[in-house]
Chains A and B, each alone.
Chain A
Amino acid sequence: MTDVHTLAGAYALDAVTDLERAAFRRHLAGCESCALEVAEFGETAARLADPTGTGLPPGLRAAVLARVAHTPQTRPGRPRMGRPRMGRSRTVAPVRWRRWTAVAAAAGVLVAGAGGAGYLVRQQQLQDARERAVAAEARVAQIDAVLTAPDAVVRQQPASGSGTVTVVGSQLRGAAVVVLAALPDPPADQAYQLWLGSGGELTSAGVLPAGQGSTIGLLPDLAGAELVGVSLEPATGSPTGQPTEGRTVATVPLT
């Protein structure tokens, strides 16, 4: 897979610059199978608009209809460059093939897992994985709820040393998401710990995964806190229950 081809997802999400978009379209012009994939991605990405449906400002309909009444239409002509055609029969085969191999691979894994004495162990592992996935999904849903809250406020600060700490808070959700980006990775037995400050008091809001300088924390209950603190502590959390002196790397106000 060429490097430009890996941009298909970002391209369909409009997550590229104008230059990258132009480069990717040049690539598409010579790549029929990419064209089908990108057309499907475009259709898929547009479905993400569905959950955004909302009530409308009172004057919008009248304003649009009034403008439309005086706006001439362009004639059908050569279509603009844009999404490539979907569903030409000659491009269908590679997709079928790809799906079929994916199904076959999945089936192969299941057969291997069900064979012999490993079966029960595997069942337990699957169950564990399922539970972890459910827990992770719940967390993601909470993170999503904060990031997409209509009143979300984003605050960013450089961490002492390097990297940045970003806090996205929503009063509506009473929650915040803390993003540590490119802070120094601590040793494996240390971790960044989050703190909530309220009325001069600091309480622990959880310890992030050990050894990671780039990670995401969720603060599900802000309880009226005024600031979020981040400090570097042992992986089990600060033994004193307070940030260790001199190891605070960022303090981000919430109000």
Chain B
Amino acid sequence: MSPRTQESTAAEPLLRAVAGGDGAAFAQLYDLVAGRVYGLAVRILRDPAQAEEVAQEVLVEVWRTAARFDPARGSATAWIFTITHRRAVDRVRSEQASAARLRRVAAVSAAGADYDSVVEAATTRIEQQQVRRCLQGLTERQREALTLAYYGGYTYREVAELLGTGLPAVKARMRDGLIRLRDCLGVSRA
């Protein structure tokens, strides 16, 4: 069994209960993951209104398709954030060609005063720190490639163009970066 984060451990039984139609479990699961579902969508879409739409779609999809979650394939939180990432990336790509996306003016307000972020921040702090620390352990080029792809929603071809680098190098940076990140985070079952 891979070492999993505390939250993932908490999320799995909730997601199983959700698969059985348990609405109270869904509310608890919402409280556990919604901050990151929305936060990831904001990071990729750079637009709070669109991110809210995507977050709503994703969270309803989690409810609707919870029975498809298979713990043998990975953790509950990974399942949820994988859906989130894919939806946000699909949205950003369908919306704008990459050149237009590059020129896009970010619309995210820096103000967070309306939002009750304290609870979420407290529960995710340890995992956040671990991910940040492990990102620091990558080479500059690996980090660039991973960050642009994951948070920017760019394809590896776009990343290559943006960095003026060849495609094989970018693919290798992504793969090597994930290997290093995986080992640092202890994601494995070996």
Interface residues of A (CB under 8 A from B): 6-10, 12-17, 39-58, 60-61, 63-65, 67-69, 71-77, 79-80, 82-87, 92, 95-96, 99, 136-137, 139-141, 143-144, 147-156, 163, 166, 172, 179-183, 213-216
Contact = CB atoms under 8 A, between A and B. Distances in A.
16 contacts: A14-B149, A15-B156, A46-B78, A51-B128, A52-B42, A53-B121, A55-B115, A56-B38, A58-B115, A68-B26, A73-B65, A84-B73, A150-B46, A151-B109, A166-B102, A180-B164
Given A43-B74, A95-B188, A150-B108, A54 B115 contact: yes
Interface string B24-60: 0011001000111111101100101000100110011
Interface residues of B, number: 106
A153 B1 CA distance: 43
B63 to A, nearest CB: 5
Most buried by B among A53, A84, A137: A53
Contacts of A67: 56, 60
B43 A53 contact: no
Interface string B93-135: 0000001001111101110101111001100100110111000
Contacts of B77: 46, 49
A40 B151 CA distance: 19
Contact of A13 (B102, B104, B146, B161): B146
B146 to A, nearest CB: 7
A156 B48 CA distance: 24
B82 interface: yes
Contacts of A213: 164
B19 A76 contact: yes
Main secondary structure of the interface of A (DSSP, over half): mixed
A16 B73 CA distance: 21
Contacts of A52: 36, 39-40, 42-43, 151
Contact of A50 (B131, B173, B190): B131
A182 B106 CA distance: 25
B114 to A, nearest CB: 7
B147 A148 contact: yes
A214 B164 contact: yes
